[in-house]
Structure 1
Amino acid sequence: MSQRFNQVSAMLAITKASLRALLRSPTTVVFSIFFPLVFILVFGFIGSKGGTSYRIVLDKNSDTANSFVDSLKSLKNVKFLDNRNIDEIHSDLTKGRITGILKVQKATRSDSNFEYSIIFKSTSASADKYMTFLPLLENIINKIDKVRYKDQHTFAHIVPEIKNVREYRTIDFILPGQLGFSLLSASIFGVAFLFFSLRQQLVLKRFYATPIKRGYILLGEGISRVFFQLITAIVIIAIGYFAFHFTLVNGWITFVEIMILCLLALLVFMGFGFIISGVAKTESLIPLLANIVTLPQFLLAGTFFPIDVFPGWLQPISRSMPLTYFNDAMRLIAFEGAHLTDCWLQIFVLLGWGILVYSVAIKTFKWE
């Protein structure tokens, strides 16, 4: 009696062979692991140098009709941020994205030695900035005093309120973006080239001569890609954690949730690769089509810089990209202690992109 053909065993054999090919490919390993790490190092060191520019939120209850505020606004290295809600301000303060909150108010009657009280709120995340910003404020007050006061009186009194928070390092922003881009580019380029090559070399046609079903062929190749990319994600996170102190706020629980998020993102991103492999007429067309998908996200999806630094007309485009939502969810989980259940918006958008992408992939993917 002949033994029944085992579809799962055949699929696993394809997975094993494909994974071996990936691990033996220097190009795949370099672009999946080494390339993102180079960017982490370069931008991490650049970002860690600080700077002399100050991003300030002016309290909405501040008295702005005075020479102090006018002098501060005239400085080129001081930028006042508008249209901020309380949650955004708190998040940006915690991460050191803004120098602090400034409130300028008239002094009470009991404060007879000065005319204004200047309350400056900041956090330890911006320690390198507020340590130089406070002397700048004092310098402005001294200049005003020389013009307006000749005795012990002073124009204003500074009240600093510095809150200690968990340190937000450059790596906490850079690594999620680089990990996301690594998953995106490897998934799209890898899947697109793989299935185009299998079709052109008639490998898929040879599979038809075997009892294995088409779905198991896709699963076998797909599982190998997912497994390999999850390994690269583990390597990148491990190097970031042990070498650069990347924050995993809840330890191994955070790590597990990040891996689940990476798995979801990989499945979505691979859909773009299936589309490109079916649309491309020649192998030389694949890099062009893949770059059309990956390059805008590489530049605009918050990989290197927060989206809010882009012009207002560009931000809606940035917020429509799937990589943006992966990056946002990664940063929320890794640093802020959010769980997957707290990132329902980001996950919902990724799932929406997945449904859209695979709907198109089903129509465009070719077996021959």
Structure 2
Amino acid sequence: MSNKVSQVKAAFTISKYSLLATLKSPTSVVFSLLFPIIFIVVFGAMVGDKLPAMKIAIAPGSDTSGAVYKAISSVPLLTLQQPGSPAQMKEDLERGRISAIMNIEALNAGTALPHYLVHIQTSAASAANARLLKTLVNEALNQLNSKAFPNNPAIATLSAEELPGRAYHSIDFILPGQLGFSLLMAGVYGSSYLLFSLRQNLVLRRLRVAPLRRRSIIAGEMLSRLFFHIISFIIMVLLGYYAFRFTLVNGLDTFIEMLLFSLLGLFIFMGIGFIISGMVQNENAISPIANTVVLPQILLCGLFFPVENYPLWLQHFCNLLPLTFFVDGLRKIAFDGRHIWELSRQLAGLLVWTLLILPLSIRSFKWE
């Protein structure tokens, strides 16, 4: 009996210390607990029974007090925006930022039963949503007629036109995200593992004897990553352009501006890698820490699906992450035709992150 008791006690003792060892292991905690929680929160918040709402700009002068506007605004998949300037709305429509411009006009206002003309403008950039939009508006008008005015002629007439505009292909969204993904992975993982390896193998210790400053070593590492990034960038953009019709609005000029804009992202992500390499004491700790930094940005920064798909409270956080600023800037340069100096919000965000990361990366640099 005593032998059985001792065996049970030994089993519990082993399980106790094994559990403590597991909890003290960063790899076990991150991969077994933290990552699943992040996946559950992100995809649970994003995935639901509803499709993403289509943004509809209401034209200035539209009747927004009548029954027709109320019926259309009650459609769950439609988000009606307040009127803006005609030029801005047209630009948003041509570049796919909104699905349509809607004008609701009361033809015989002041009568007991006015007749409305609902006019919808779409563009080639939002062609994928045009048919669904017409169906939803027609259904809303038919329900209004059948419920409120069953014995009268149709209360509204729907008309539609398509404005010329660039077709927005899925590659126009995906490729900038993959450029950001590539830069993030190369900057964070590549720099952290390389610097740690140089320190562990005493290479940095030998370099310390030479008349070199830390900034020189960091600059050299950044240059090597820059050359690698340029090669990767050229391959991915050319593949997207020739194989999948990726949009480069101004051709070679757009390509060069995208490449120059990538430098800010490179500095930030490499700086994060330097900080991680200075924090860890052994190579096994690099991956969990790097994953903790990288994975949330992969999920939250619009690489694979729009940030607008998330709840509003989560969007505010997503829009503060450096990869979001970077990917948004690339998309605006490539498809919208913006110049770098026109990206005030994206530039400001990346510059703030650069000012935060670079001093920390230099300070965390260790020779041995």
Normalising by the residue count of structure 1, what TM-score does the alignment of the two structures yield?
Answer: 0.75
Inter-partner Cα distance in structure 2 for 1:203 and 1:222: 17
Structure 1 gap ranges (5+) = 1-50
Higher RCO (CA 8 Å, separation ≥ 6 residues): 1
Q: Could you list the per-position Cα deviations for residues 66-114 of structure 1 after superposition, in whole angstroms to 9, with x for gaps in the alignment?
A: 55445445545x2324578558755553343543233333223699997
Report what 1:122 is aligned to: 122
Report what 1:79 is aligned to: 78
The amino acid of 2:170's aligned partner reads T
Contact 1:102–1:121 (Cα < 8 Å) also in 2: yes
Residue 154 of structure 1 aligns to a residue whose secondary structure is: coil
CA 1:106 to 1:365, structure 2 compared with 1: closer, same or farther past 3 Å? same
| Between 308-317 and 87-96, the greater mean CA deviation after superposition | 87-96
Structure 2 gap ranges (5+) = 1-50
Inter-partner Cα distance in structure 2 for 1:137 and 1:215: 61
Contact 2:275–2:364 (Cα < 8 Å) also in 1: yes
| Between 84-93 and 271-280, the greater mean CA deviation after superposition | 84-93
Matched, 1:291 2:278: no
Report what 1:254 is aligned to: 254
Report what 1:9 is aligned to: none
Inter-partner Cα distance in structure 1 for 2:301 and 2:134: 34
The amino acid of 1:301's aligned partner reads C
Structure-to-structure mapping, 1:1-368, within 5 angstroms: 54-58=54-58, 62-64=62-64, 66-76=66-76, 78-82=77-81, 90=90, 92-108=92-108, 115-142=115-142, 144-145=144-145, 148=149, 153-208=153-208, 215-368=215-368
Kindly tell me the number of residue pairs found equivalent between the two proteins: 316
| Between 103-112 and 169-178, the greater mean CA deviation after superposition | 103-112
Contact 1:279–1:365 (Cα < 8 Å) also in 2: no
Give me the CA root mean square deviation. Answer: 3.2
Q: Could you list the per-position Cα deviations for residues 226-279 of structure 1 after superposition, in whole angstroms to 9, with x for gaps in the alignment?
A: 211221111111111111111111111111111111123212221111111001
Contact 1:279–1:364 (Cα < 8 Å) also in 2: yes
Deviation at 1:140, TM superposition (A): 4.2
Contact 2:54–2:99 (Cα < 8 Å) also in 1: yes
The amino acid of 1:310's aligned partner reads Y
Deviation at 1:292, TM superposition (A): 2.2
Inter-partner Cα distance in structure 2 for 1:280 and 1:205: 17
Inter-partner Cα distance in structure 2 for 1:92 and 1:300: 24
The amino acid of 2:256's aligned partner reads V
Paired-residue identity, %: 39
The amino acid of 1:296's aligned partner reads P
CA 1:99 to 1:257, structure 2 compared with 1: closer, same or farther past 3 Å? closer
Inter-partner Cα distance in structure 2 for 1:52 and 1:351: 32
CA 1:83 to 1:279, structure 2 compared with 1: closer, same or farther past 3 Å? farther
Q: Could you list the per-position Cα deviations for residues 103-138 of structure 1 after superposition, in whole angstroms to 9, with x for gaps in the alignment?
A: 333223699997112122222222232224324433
CA 1:281 to 1:60, structure 2 compared with 1: closer, same or farther past 3 Å? farther
Contact 2:59–2:83 (Cα < 8 Å) also in 1: no
Normalising by the residue count of structure 2, what TM-score does the alignment of the two structures yield?
Answer: 0.75
Contact 1:230–1:262 (Cα < 8 Å) also in 2: no
The amino acid of 2:100's aligned partner reads G
The amino acid of 2:251's aligned partner reads G
CA 1:311 to 1:107, structure 2 compared with 1: closer, same or farther past 3 Å? same
Inter-partner Cα distance in structure 2 for 1:116 and 1:102: 12
Residue 313 of structure 1 aligns to a residue whose secondary structure is: helix
Q: Could you list the per-position Cα deviations for residues 5-53 of structure 1 after superposition, in whole angstroms to 9, with x for gaps in the alignment?
A: xxxxxxxxxxxxxxxxxxxxxxxxxxxxxxxxxxxxxxxxxxxxxx897
| Between 273-282 and 257-266, the greater mean CA deviation after superposition | 257-266
Inter-partner Cα distance in structure 1 for 2:104 and 2:65: 10
Contact 1:189–1:273 (Cα < 8 Å) also in 2: yes
Report what 1:20 is aligned to: none
Deviation at 1:139, TM superposition (A): 4.4
The amino acid of 1:242's aligned partner reads Y
The amino acid of 1:338's aligned partner reads R
Inter-partner Cα distance in structure 2 for 1:123 and 1:85: 18
CA 1:232 to 1:251, structure 2 compared with 1: closer, same or farther past 3 Å? same
Inter-partner Cα distance in structure 2 for 1:308 and 1:217: 41
Inter-partner Cα distance in structure 2 for 1:182 and 1:306: 18
The amino acid of 2:220's aligned partner reads G
